[in-house]
A = this chain, B = another copy of it.
Amino acid sequence: MSGALEAIVEGYWQAAVERDWTAFGKLLDNDILYEVPQTRERVRGKEGYIDFNATFPGDWTLAVDSIVAGDRQAVSRVTFEVDGQSMTGISFFEFRDGLICRITDFWPEPYEPPARMTRHIERY
């Protein structure tokens, strides 16, 4: 089953990059719930979620860095590029009857680290 979920997530990102909203929509449950905990944004339902993606501004693209798929959930990490800016996106996927029914998205941004108590840290 983990292979099946991995294939769904691969298809999801491929459809998004290709702006193939028909193929994209076929992977989504009608009642999909999309949330971004960092901004407390939420989109409910397939129609709205396709619109959110289809209207996303800029000539963006992305590369999938990794997909970890279990029996019931999957997580992807992507590098999203738009307007010369590069961002990491981390998406937690949940499924119902082979369709994506929930996505919880995180967009971690660079920050200056706090003082550390250990001498074992280096910067790269």
Residue numbers of A with Cβ under 8 A of B are 2, 6, 35-45, 47-49, 51-52, 55-57, 66, 68-71, 73-75, 77, 88, 90, 92, 106-113, 116-124
Residue in chain B with minimal CB distance to A122: B42
Q: Name the B residues within 8 Å of A56 (CB-CB).
A: 117
Provide the bound-state CA to CA distance between A106 and B45, in Å: 28
The smallest C-beta distance from A73 to any residue of chain B, in angstroms, reads: 5
| Cross-chain contact B41 with A121 (CB below 8 angstroms) | yes
| Interchain Cβ contacts under 8 Å between A and B, 6 examples | A2-B2, A37-B88, A39-B111, A39-B113, A41-B122, A42-B123
Provide the main secondary structure of the chain A interface. mixed
Provide the bound-state CA to CA distance between A43 and B42, in Å: 36
| Cross-chain contact B52 with A121 (CB below 8 angstroms) | yes
The smallest C-beta distance from A97 to any residue of chain B, in angstroms, reads: 19
Provide the bound-state CA to CA distance between A48 and B53, in Å: 43
Residue in chain B with minimal CB distance to A1: B2
